[in-house]
Amino acid sequence: MAGFSIGSWSFHALFAAGKINLFGYLESIKYRYRLDQADIWSGMLLSTEDSYINSVKETLDEEGLTVACLSVDGADIWHDDPAIREQNYQKALLYLDIARRWGAKALRIDMGVNSLAITDEQFNLIVMRYREYTQFGQEHGFRVGPQTHQAGSQSPQNLKRVSDEVASPSFGIVLNVNRWLADKEIGDELVSPFTMHAQFDRAFVDFAGTGLLQKVQLLRQGGYQGCWSLEFRGGADEYLEVEHDLLTVRRAVRQAFGEN
């Protein structure tokens, strides 16, 4: 059973208010929540300069933390404007290197398609880029792929089609469990074999009933071996609400694995 983490976006309101930064998040992961895996959203980085990236790496090493997932905004593969596509590509290359330097296990780079339908032009570029990114990831020990939070990535059939065409063991998705615009009843099951990182969010999964346990069991049966992470969207009382959700996810995972 892999470990647990908390997506740093769970503290977005505190971050926006200047009450937490990336280093405070890492400290909270280690000492407040007693975890050893970080789930980092790029919006929390203040810089991509070498000195800052090295400082984060030093902190990770000092605290014995692994980056289970690094989620990157603004590096989407597709954009209607070719100039922005190129800017995004350069940003993706930068974050591929940051993932390497930090020893990340998963890197989220989105497809950038904001409709359920994907054109042939979009699909061909997406496959080409993910083949390039996953080759780099395979050489450096991490997986790369999109998250299920853009319309094109909220169709499990789209994701399976991309996964089949990329045909790399280093391709994977960041699964916002139960967050689909199409084929919701089969979505999580269909993508579980190539899910590299899973986030549970009470906005999409029933934390109060049996829904959470059922989703954990489904992922386990599908062969999921990544981190069990969570994301809190509420934007208020974030430290306390995250602690509540972490305990809930821990309980469900223990039950799914037959632990007391």
Q: What would the two tokens of residue 43 be?
A: 């919006």
Whether this model's pTM surpasses 0.95: yes
Q: Could you give the C-alpha distances from 232 to 158, 220, 245, in angstroms and in order?
A: 26, 22, 8
- Reading the chain (260 residues) residue by residue, the pLDDT tens digits are 579 999 999 999 999 999 999 999 999 999 999 999 999 999 999 999 999 999 999 999 999 999 999 999 999 999 999 999 999 999 999 999 999 999 999 999 999 999 999 999 999 999 999 999 999 999 999 999 999 999 999 999 999 999 999 999 999 999 999 999 999 999 999 999 999 999 999 999 999 989 999 999 999 999 999 999 999 999 999 999 999 999 999 999 999 998 75
Place of tokens 């990340």: 104
For CA atoms 55, 58, 60, 63, give the dihedral sign: negative
What is the set of domains in the chain, with CATH numbers?
4-255 (3.20.20.150)
Residues 55, 14: Cα–Cα separation, whole Å: 22
CA distance 237 to 5: 18
